[in-house]
Amino acid sequence: MEQKKQNDGHNKAAGAKHMTPGKRRLFPRKPFYIVTFLLMALAAAGFLVMLILTDILPPDLTIILAVSVLALLFMTSVLFASRRAWVRAAGILFACVFVGALAFVINFTGSTYAMLDKISVSSYGASGPAAKSVSITEEPFNVYITGIDQWESEKGLDLERSDVNMIMTVNPRTKKILLTSIPRDTYVKLHTAQQMDKLTHTGVYGVDETLNTVEDWLGIDLNYYVKMNFSAARDIINAMDGISVYSPVAFESSLKGYKYEKGWNRIGGDKALYFARERKAFEGQDSIRVENQQRVIKAIIKKMTSSSTLLMKYGDIMEAAGDNMSTNMPSEALTALAKMQITELVSWDVQTQKIEGEYDMDYVASLTQSQMFSVYRPDAESVSKCLASIRDVSNPSVSELEEAGGSTSRSFVINMIGRALESIKAHGAKG
């Protein structure tokens, strides 16, 4: 009897021990799960490395993403260690999505990084002049935008004339941009030949001749340049899912047949390009075309400085630029500008102006001297006025700097919270 009680006690103890759950492991037990987890870890490591290399995201956002990825890895190990088959299956499904998503991001950011570096070493055409670099997120600078009147398929088949000529003055502290347009037929003295010619013809001799000629004439430093052809402009706008431009009048393109309404027009790349190229539909011809070019560039800047566009479309925009755009702005500077915009989440004040003048007939150096051609003589007073406006943007007052300095933080999270509170407040005021 005593032996039977002892046996019953041992059986109960063994049963109780069997019923007590063992300590949960936080790491997979079988090789299949271990290999899957290691693949996830490799994908996570690659993702974090690309975040550091591209360096486009604000530091606090990078930390949040890194912590989130590590937390997801930990959660997956918990799912894999579960005794329930359906939980482990869910873990496998999650792991597949995790690895696939990070592999896509790694490939996307890697190609973006390579394309950005390619663009900043003069992909399109011959290399231009060296940059007059500044601290691009702290100091004002001038960018010369030169638009070449060619499609990608025409490169090397025709002379490269500078069809669009625009100085973009940027003050990163006050968040102001001034676009100063120069008519393509402006009569200027060539930097090298020291003879009078149309500004558009400087593109034939290279972007360095264009920049040097404009610097000689206006007496200002052009820190960087951006050179693009028709294909680049069209593809970049398409990569941003189109832009909205305002037209003061309704008109139809004489080149393509596109129709534009008076007011705001939501248009894609091809239609935007012909909006900027049209002049025969207007009595003012090139003067109106210059204004429409400004409207398109302004719309591109507005769209590109949207933080959502930078986060979601940055790689697409760089890829669209491809071999049809070049700049002497270092890739680190381009990345710094993008990071600043994503961090601060602010809108830029974009203003426009153009150099006025009148058309006349005269000889041009790059064409036959047996006849005169139509040229645009810039008005000296208009030139002085435009230069004064450039100086005002480049040299803001103390009050402007104080006002701009207090509006944003260097933290993405703080700025995001601030924008959210402003949105809630505005919504409440409307309600």
177-218: pLDDT as tens digits: 999 999 999 999 999 999 999 999 998 888 999 999 999 999
Average confidence (pLDDT) over 241-261: 93
Question: What distance lies between CA 387 and its chain's CA centroid?
Answer: 27
Q: 217, 319 in Cβ contact below 8 A?
A: no
* pLDDT above 80 for 304: yes
| Domain assignment of residue 246, given as a range | 141-396
- Asked whether residue 135 is domain-assigned, the answer is no
The confidence score (pLDDT) of residue 390 equals 97
Looking at the structure, tell me whether residues 79 and 226 fall in a common domain.
no
Looking at the structure, tell me whether residues 212 and 316 fall in a common domain.
yes
Per-residue pLDDT of 108-137, as tens digits, reads: 677 666 766 666 654 444 456 788 989 999
Looking at the structure, tell me whether residues 254 and 203 fall in a common domain.
yes
246, β-bridge pairs: 264
* pLDDT above 70 for 64: yes
The confidence score (pLDDT) of residue 310 equals 66
- Asked whether residue 417 is domain-assigned, the answer is no
* pLDDT above 60 for 257: yes
- Asked whether residue 401 is domain-assigned, the answer is no
Looking at the structure, tell me whether residues 328 and 361 fall in a common domain.
yes
Looking at the structure, tell me whether residues 47 and 106 fall in a common domain.
yes
Q: Is the dihedral of CA 210, 212, 215, 220 positive or negative?
A: positive
* Most confidently modeled range among 63-77, 173-187, 339-353: 173-187
- Asked whether residue 404 is domain-assigned, the answer is no
- Asked whether residue 184 is domain-assigned, the answer is yes
> Which of 23-27, 71-75, 78-82, 109-113 is predicted with the least confidence, judged by mean pLDDT?
23-27
Looking at the structure, tell me whether residues 272 and 370 fall in a common domain.
yes
The confidence score (pLDDT) of residue 19 equals 44
Looking at the structure, tell me whether residues 191 and 110 fall in a common domain.
no
The confidence score (pLDDT) of residue 268 equals 95
Q: 408, 415 in Cβ contact below 8 A?
A: yes
Other beta carbons within 10 Å of 384: 10
* pLDDT above 90 for 413: no
Task: Identify the CATH number of the domain in which residue 266 sits.
Answer: 3.40.630.190
Total number of domains in the chain: 2
Round to whole Å and give the CA distance between 229 and 378.
25
Looking at the structure, tell me whether residues 147 and 248 fall in a common domain.
yes
72, 87, 119: which is the final residue of a domain? 119
49 falls in which pLDDT band (50, 70, 90)? confident
pLDDT exceeding 90 applies to what percent of the chain? 39
pLDDT exceeding 70 applies to what percent of the chain? 84
Q: 196, 189 in Cβ contact below 8 A?
A: yes
Q: 360, 375 in Cβ contact below 8 A?
A: yes
* Most confidently modeled range among 273-282, 313-322, 330-339: 273-282
* pLDDT above 70 for 87: yes
Per-residue pLDDT of 215-238, as tens digits, reads: 999 999 999 999 999 999 999 999
Other beta carbons within 10 Å of 141: 22
- Asked whether residue 108 is domain-assigned, the answer is yes
The confidence score (pLDDT) of residue 186 equals 96
- Asked whether residue 426 is domain-assigned, the answer is no
Name the pTM for this structure.
0.80
Q: In this predicted model, which residue has the larger pLDDT, 413 or 161? A: 161
Looking at the structure, tell me whether residues 83 and 183 fall in a common domain.
no
84, 119, 154: which is the final residue of a domain? 119
- Asked whether residue 425 is domain-assigned, the answer is no
* Most confidently modeled range among 41-50, 86-95, 368-377: 368-377
Looking at the structure, tell me whether residues 217 and 114 fall in a common domain.
no
Looking at the structure, tell me whether residues 83 and 152 fall in a common domain.
no
Per-chain mean pLDDT for the chain: 84
Looking at the structure, tell me whether residues 210 and 307 fall in a common domain.
yes
Round to whole Å and give the CA distance between 317 and 112.
9
Q: 236, 300 in Cβ contact below 8 A?
A: yes
